[in-house]
Homo-oligomer: A and B are copies of this chain.
Amino acid sequence: MATTTAEQRRDQAKLDYDAFLDGCPTRELLSRLTDKWVALVISALSGGPQRHGEIAHRIAGVSQKMLTQTLRTLERDGLITRTVTASVPVRVDYALTPLGHELVPVMAAIKTWAEAHMDRVFMARAEFDARAGA
């Protein structure tokens, strides 16, 4: 009955949790997920496991602090795994967990959306500013 119970619990959870409600834990989770660096890290790892340095190189301009901090949080939330290989220069690999992998389409969608509609947003801003300036 374990399977049924877990399934029931999840269905129940889907009904109870609502990010529109203040104090709902999903509000906090939502604020963690809606993070520039999270979107980039998850997208970067979507192609497979990568080393710390590789991710840093991929995501240009990210500070070492923010990267480590973001990776730690994602690890704690069960979205990525951190594997340390004790070699001469320490090697650390990060990879998406199954849970983290489920987030890839979502994060990729935001990144892609921004890249695809950048010009339209620029036009809208120009119009808005012109109106406001007039």
Contacts and interface: CB of A to CB of B under 8 A. Distances in A.
A65 interface: no
Q: Is the interface of A mostly helix, strand, loop or mixed?
A: helix
Nearest to A125: B76
B78 A118 contact: no
Given A23-B61, A59-B20, A125-B76, A102 B106 contact: no
A36 interface: yes
A27 interface: yes
Interface residues of A, number: 59
Contacts of A76: 124-125, 128-129
A18 B115 contact: yes
Interface in A40-60: 40, 43-44, 58-60
A62 to B, nearest CB: 8
Contacts of A122: 25
Contacts of A103: 113
A35 B33 contact: no
B113 A34 contact: no
Given A13-B119, A14-B115, A76-B125, A30 B36 contact: yes
A91 interface: no
